Structure 1
Amino acid sequence: MPSNRSSSNAMVLASAVANNATVDIGYPAGTSQNNYNAGNAGSGHYVMLNDNDKIAAGAGVAFSFGAAAITITNQSGYTWPAGTRLAVNADQQDGNQVIFLQFPLKLAKVANGDVVTEMRPGVFGALEYAEFVTTDPVTTAGKAASLNLEIDTTDVTGGVVALTSAAATPLGKVIAGSAITGNNKLTPASKLSLKASGVTAFAEGEGVLFVRVRLNQDFNY
């Protein structure tokens, strides 16, 4: 099994942090926002107050990974007093067991509805991140489409790639999808579809939609 990938940092609160208020703390040494965005954040974040009270993400505290700092939101129901030692454990996805699904797209062919219908990845895992890489730039202004993923009959929460004429140029431009936050689990029985909406038909342009799937560690041999 892969080792747990997490990093920590600590500070002493200069002022009290009320319930629903926030405090920023720098990234742990050797890490940055890029270690936690684009689907790289794990689910095991937590804080420790005075090396005694552990509060897990989603159970009294929330984490947000900004450009220069981690923003911690106190959702514990009580105020953290000034002088409290706040230790932060920021979790990353474990292991390197990922696969990439690749969908080449001719943008002039994209219309509202299915772009890919019920392909079978055939794995236990989770959709983690989506991005579009431009291989033939768009030159006609005012065109747009939104791409989203669907597992069986349920839309993935997040992962929407907003294609526009301005974004799909120059050659090699990467358009990141929104954060995937739910309805993203795959089993060997799952059927994966790619859908387009809000299409203002493109006249030209091509690219590849890459979808990263993190395989379930419990089913690796």
Structure 2
Amino acid sequence: MDSALNQLAAQINSIVLGRLAAQQIRVREKWEPQITESLDSTADECLRDIKKTMVQYRPLFGGLATPALLQLRLGLSFANIVRENAAQAKGLLRAMIQSEAKALSDIITLNGLVGGRGGQKPPALAERLANELADGAALDKATGKSLQLFKKRVFAVLAEGDSSELGASELMERLGAATTWWRGRLRTIANTVLYAAAAQLRRTVNEYLWRGASQASGF
């Protein structure tokens, strides 16, 4: 009897590990490119806005055009771009959580250790995880902080351009360097938030499976 139970447990464990491995592959190959692109494209959009604004703002405001006015205009535009792209990234993050939480529920149901034991039912667990892990607070905080650092770099370059003989090509080169730096930061933020959520999903799977196994064994 014990031999049969051990064999069954080994089979279940193999299936669970296989599904968890498949989840990691999906996160890396399906979700990471989408969420990363939605954020790191922000840097290029802001650079395009800088170029457009630099062409337009002096003719538009004439003698009222000042570095402070340019910074205000760019700051508002950057904030809107970040807000829109962060919302897209959060939508993708929630879609990932919902999809993978369903797979998580399937794993728990497969094991048969949760449900009917007074614990949280798998569908309710999946919904709770989607709400908790996809709220986007960490992403908003990180992107907001990175935006402030990007603005600081951009405004420093623009101020240098106003106060020196910095040529247009060198100015664009330095703005491009600031954009490249920010793109890397945004990519890191996207990956950090994504994999933190995916890791929490895996921890929850292990927690529920361990709890169910303990209940089944009488401990």
Superposition TM-score, scaled by structure 1 size: 0.21
Which has a greater percent of strand?
A: 1
- Structure scoring higher RCO (CA < 8 A, sep ≥ 6) equals 2
Give 1 or 2: higher helix fraction: 2
